[in-house]
Structure 1
Amino acid sequence: MATLRQIAEQTGVSISTVSLVLNHRDQGRVNPEVAQRIRLVAQQLGYRPNTLARSLRTNRSHILGFISDEIATTPYAGRLILGAQDAARSMNYMLFTVNTNGDRTLEEHEIDALKQYGVEGFIYARMFHQATTIPSSLHDAPTVLVDGFDVDHRVPSIVPDERAIGFDATEYLIQSGAQRIAYIGAADRVTIADTLRYEGYTRALRQYRINHDMALTTSVTFNQAAQDKVSALIEQERPDGVLCFNDARAWYVYFAAAQLGLRIGKDLSVVGVDNHRVSAETMAPRLTTVDLPHYEMGYWGAMRLISMIEQDDKSAHIPQALRDTLPNLQEQEAHIHCTLLKKDSVRHQ
């Protein structure tokens, strides 16, 4: 295994300089070109830090805890964990993940267990955008909330920009030629996201001077009752565009259109939200949808947490491909913009 001394000898710098670079403490201390050369040589030599030795020497574990309620069992939201893991790995941290299934007693037990492993900070993740109270057991540890907002404003947080989702999707429908745009909302627990997306929808209508007809708005849950409400709206109000709270609700619109002989993407334009692969890629025609940036939120959460732990802004370590996407790491209540994926379900002018 390569040593710091070997890397120093091959790059012509001191061991302390190599240590600064490989421990991500080189910003403002080491010439960027020299730092890049050190990292390249370390990679070529197959250098791997001795985590246990470093922990004993510095009294630091370089371990982050990822606590979720149900998210670890949600397939598409698993990218949240992947984003956090990739960010942690890039900074030589390890991510320990636990799933509590929303059980507060189990949650307290897992937090205590993670602390016994020397976890330096916590990512507290929600399954969907919601108001959240951070457990008191995390008040003494660096913590970042992902996909929720802290009602007590104790910790930094990141959520999707829900208003922008509603606005961007509605604007796209308007620009495609739609004038009677329906909104199929959620009549269940995801009320915050639904309320904010609806606000974005109505703002777009106002901005483009389109009448907001309340008859074009409905909220549904699932199954036959939901299908009946959506089918009645499509048949009676004949919208030419529909924004659905999520991809799952777009299925009802597709089915209603088929019953009425309407062609999706021609007679009726439809936009969903989630980019749930099962829905968005199997519907015919393919569903235009808004991608919720779970990976990016996880990445931001981990980088924000590491910045807190090390008391040093880690923005310079974010890959160039993500820099234009992620909010500033210093934001306390960050909102991340979501990408509209244009496919075949919206009529093209």
Structure 2
Amino acid sequence: MVWDMTTMKEIAQQTGVSVSTVSLVMNHRDEGRVKAEVASRVRETARKLGYKVNPMARSLRTNSTRILGFISDEVATTPYAGGMILGAQTAASRFGYMLITVSTDDGMKEDNEIDALKRYGTDGFLYAKMSNRITDVPAKLLDYPLVLTDATDVNGKVPSVEPDEFSIAYDATTYLIKAGCKRIAYVGCSEPLLAQEGRLAGYRAAIAEAGMPFDDKLVANVVNNGPALRAVSRLFDSEHPDGFFCFNDARAWYVYECAARRGLTVGKDISVVGVDNHRVFAETLEPQLTTVELPHFEMGYWAATKLISMIENRPMNDIEWPKTTAPLTPIDAPIPAKIHCTLLEKGSVAR
């Protein structure tokens, strides 16, 4: 953040420090150079005077626009886009950056969108996917500061953030075990996703830790619609589970449907835990579905903060994370950074 020189002079006069000190503080480069109490006094004076950043002046002086580019190929057309983009935008705003979002859905050419953002003088990029997957990073992004969101690059070298898929399943299955469930089914995903791999592993680990044998007949990996409903129906009739951990809330709906057809009450006769905290299912299913909320806001916030730390070559050790549903992982976490998701207790687990 660079301020008008007259502004900095006024702040310096009122706080009794030099203009260069004010500049360091306003540009978030005061750590180790300016005493904390002095920096606090400078920021408070600036706030009281009501001065605003002059982004054009900063761009001319530093050849930096303080613009971040957010590129997605699916995120902007999914129900979770808002949380991820809001998280990134909130972090960008906190540090004086602007976020420009583009989507390459519906035939939009990715290279053209990247070129357009570069023409704006974008300082760095967020590259987002949905459903946590390994991806090939566009070559045009590799010479810029870059962070992947809900994705990992094929070489594992680009900083990235994703949900802790293993812990999602481990926590959910353990919750069912502690509720007294003895035969816990996993209604998974038949698509080759990192999320499926991690959640199946977490489910198996929790079962093993409880001293229960793993039974592959209790696992039904499905996609959607009629075939999924029939697969879950067969699971009910052949294996008689008393607990279900579902890959997502949509798959939990099949469990509710099959239970209703058999005169079973969710939250009493059987227990169900989903993943997503999808608003439609959260507001529709009765009893309300106990679910693990995916950290879309948190991933967006962490990714933007990480990107800014790379652009400014700043460790961010001094920042205070916002209060979020899932705790944010340290900025220097290994690649990929994993966010431990939070289980939301509702009414679908029998006690």
Q: Please, what TM-score do these two structures have when normalized by structure 1?
A: 0.95
Tell me what 2:18 maps to.
Answer: 14
Deviates more, 1:239-248 or 1:226-235: 226-235
Superposed counterparts of 1:11-90, under 5 Å? 11-90=15-94
SS of the residue 2:131 aligns to: coil
Structure-1 residue corresponding to 2:298? 296
Match of residue 269 from structure 1: 271
Establish whether residue 110 from structure 1 lines up as the match of residue 91 from structure 2: no
Give the match for residue 100 of structure 1.
Answer: 104
Q: Report what 1:330 is aligned to.
A: 332
Letter in 2 for 1:226: A
Q: CA RMSD in A?
A: 1.8
Q: Determine which of 174, 180, 185 is the counterpart of 1:182.
A: 185
Counterpart-to-counterpart distance in 1, 2:116 and 2:251: 40
Of 333, 345, 350 in structure 2, the residue corresponding to residue 347 of structure 1 is 350
Distance 2:51 2:213 in 1: 64
Paired AA for residue 21 in structure 1:
V
Q: What SS does structure 2 have at the residue aligned with 1:321? A: coil
Find the aligned partners of 1:264 and 1:77 in 2 and give their Cα distance.
Answer: 30
Structure 1 counterpart of 2:153, from 146, 150, 155: 150
SS of equivalent residue, structure 2 residue 266: coil
Distance 1:279 1:143 in 2: 34
Q: Is the contact made by 2:12 and 2:22 (CA closer than 8 Å) also made in structure 1?
A: yes
Give, in whole Å, the separation in 2 of the partners of 1:17 and 1:200.
Answer: 51
The question of whether the paired residues in 1 share the 8 Å contact of 2:132 and 2:150 is answered with: yes
1:131 aligns with 2:134: yes
* CA distance in structure 1 between the aligned counterparts of 2:208 and 2:73, rounded to whole angstroms: 38
- For 2:224, which of 222, 225, 234 is the aligned residue? 222
Asked if residue 287 in structure 1 is aligned to residue 297 in structure 2, the reply is no
Letter in 2 for 1:208: A
Conserved? CA contact 1:327–1:334, under 8 Å: yes
Q: Distance in 2 between matches of 1:269 and 1:313?
A: 44
Classify the secondary structure of the residue corresponding to 2:214: coil
CA separation in 2, counterparts of 1:75 and 1:37? 42
Q: How many residues align?
A: 346
Once the two structures are aligned, what percentage of the paired residues are identical? 54
* Contact 1:287–1:345 under 8 Å retained in 2: yes
User: How far is 1:323 from its partner?
Assistant: 12
SS of match in other structure, 2:332: coil
TM-score by length of 2: 0.94
Q: What displacement does 1:322 show? A: 5.6
3-state DSSP of counterpart to 2:14: helix
Give the Å deviation of 1:179: 0.8
Structure 1 stretches of 5 or more lacking a match?
none
1:120 equivalent to 2:123? Answer yes
Alignment of 1:216-255 (within 5 A): 216-255=218-257
Letter in structure 2 aligned against 1:287: L
Deviation at 1:109, TM superposition (A): 0.6
Paired residue type of 1:99:
S
SS in 2 for 1:218: strand
1:111-149 Cα offsets, whole Å, 9 max, x none, are 111111110111011022001111111111111111011
Distance 2:326 2:199 in 1: 23
Contact 1:281 1:287 (C-alpha < 8 Å) held by counterparts: no
Find the aligned partners of 2:346 and 2:86 in 1 and give their Cα distance. 26
- Go from structure 1 to structure 2 and tell me whether the alpha carbon gap of 1:72 and 1:320 turns closer, same or farther (over 3 Å shift): closer
8 Å Cα contact 1:80/1:295 also seen in 2: yes
What SS does structure 1 have at the residue aligned with 2:287? coil
Residue identity opposite 1:284 in structure 2: E
Q: Which residue of 2 aligns with 1:195?
A: 197
